[in-house]
Structure 1
Amino acid sequence: MVAKNIAHFDVHADDVERAKKFYGRVFGWRFSQWGPPDFFMIATGDEADPGIHGAVHERPKSENRCVGFQCTIAVDDVDAIAKLVEAEGGKITVAKMTIPTVGELIQFSDTEGNVVCAMRYFDKAT
């Protein structure tokens, strides 16, 4: 079996507008209404580098309730992102750490209680 890249991610939110504000301000993501009420497609990149396909929507209230959004988001400056996370209501859960030969990583919980990582990847040439 051939491994595939992640093709989509969902952010499940108790408050969709709050989640959109958080991710818009911290990472510059853009949102467009699609499908059912409170369902928004996420644009994480631009035309030259479109990024990954995602969506933010209301967290299911049933037994299918998911608290499992944990992707790693590539960033240029982990310290700057950590400050933005806290300024926008998130909480750093793992302080900046270095993963040898990979990069610098923080883990945080967003305004919806989801656990997310941000990493500044080391240049492959170093």
Structure 2
Amino acid sequence: MAEHGIFYWNELMTRDTEKAREFYGKTLGWTFTEMPMEEGIYLLAKLGDKPVAGLFPMNGPQFDGLPDHWFSYIAVDDVDERLDLAKAHGGEIVRPPFDVPGVGRIAILKDVNGAAQGWMTPAEMAG
């Protein structure tokens, strides 16, 4: 069960998910499930039966100039309310909240120092 305020999910943002799949499969023993999405094929990484990370395809002009990187998501009890607090304390909303069916409600923001992160209310917390 997700808990408010903890790091909940990590995603590798990459232009070459196949190369990353091969690397992490061979070095960490991860297996992958493909999940089609608008941006391409998202790869859900698993260790045994446990989901451990995602590989997100950085396709499109919004990713120009951005290097491949790991991106973290923090679980929050109510992403909309927490974003209001973030803005009130100097945070910047990069991508407003959006819903991913079966996953949760997600937003991308920068903290007061400019560090980018995702905040999400996982479906299991919202239900």
More strand by share: 2
Give your verdict on TM over 0.5.
Answer: no
More helix by share: 2
Q: TM-score range by the shorter chain?
A: 0.3 to 0.5
Taking structure 1 as the reference length, the TM-score comes to 0.44
